[in-house]
Amino acid sequence: MTDRPASPSHALAELLAGNHRFVSGDRIHPNQDAERRTALADAQNPFAVVLGCSDSRLAAEIIFDRGLGDLFVVRTAGHVVSPEVLGSIEYAVTVLHTPLVVVLGHDSCGAVRATREAVSGDASPAGHLRSVVDAVAPSVRVAAERRIEDVDGIVDVHIGRTVELLRSRSDVIGAAVDSGNCAVVGMYYRLSAGRVRIVGE
């Protein structure tokens, strides 16, 4: 199995380098061959967890120019956090010793837009979509307190809030961050440009 970035800073640098290749068109498509597939048959060793939105345009392995076994990807609409999401990330952090967790949001997010409309009273979603709206609603309210009303600005707030939720709701993730073995970072993806930027510190 190939070496992987061992520290949070190196893992982050590797992701950003991969996104730069994706944007510039210089992709190398690493770890996507038959040898890599065979090497991973018995074990995995991802260097980053990506908690991303389910949006079909947000395929982590593509926008970070990575391959099999590189990323441990968890996706939900609006990258909302549930016990199952926390458990999946805790598995990657504690069992696979993954040094980086990324919360990946994007512009024009449908989950954020639907939540903004629901909070303002314009529309109330039916079915289980309500659970997504309920999870995103606190971020919309925090954004409103800061007088941020546009969808993309709210996405920034929601990414930062999700980062904090991962740290505060999971003692496992919080302890890994406190020890320096793992970092949790927010990223914002621009759909048209294909570029990510770090949200917050």
Q: What is the pLDDT of residue 157?
A: 97
Q: What is the pLDDT of residue 1?
A: 39
Cβ atoms of residues 12 and 65 within 8 Å = no
Residue type, 176: A
Please tell me the least confidently modeled range out of 70-79, 97-106, 126-135. Answer: 126-135
Cβ atoms of residues 45 and 4 within 8 Å = yes
The single residue listed with the structure tokens 């730069």 is 20
- Which pLDDT tens digit goes with each residue over 122-166? 777 888 989 999 999 999 999 999 999 999 999 999 999 999 999
Cβ atoms of residues 142 and 165 within 8 Å = no
Q: What is the pLDDT of residue 197?
A: 96
pLDDT at 46 > cutoff 60: yes
Over the chain, what is the mean pLDDT?
A: 93
pLDDT at 74 > cutoff 70: yes
Distance, CA of 83 to CA of 103 (rounded, Å) = 16
Closest CA to 132 of 77, 63, 194: 77
Over residues 26-33, the mean pLDDT reads: 87
pLDDT at 191 > cutoff 80: yes
The dihedral of CA 191, 192, 195, 200: what is its sign? negative
DSSP string, the chain: ------SHHHHHHHHHHHHHHHHHT----TT-SHHHHHHTSS----SEEEEEE--TT--HHHHTT--TTTEEEEEEGGG---HHHHHHHHHHHHTS---EEEEEEETT-HHHHHHHHHHTTS----TTHHHHHHHHHHHHHHHHHTT--SHHHHHHHHHHHHHHHHHHH-HHHHHHHHHTS-EEEEEEE-TTT--EEEE--
For domain 8-199, is the CATH number 3.90.180.10? no
The single residue listed with the structure tokens 């406190």 is 178
Please tell me the least confidently modeled range out of 3-7, 57-61, 82-86, 164-168. Answer: 3-7
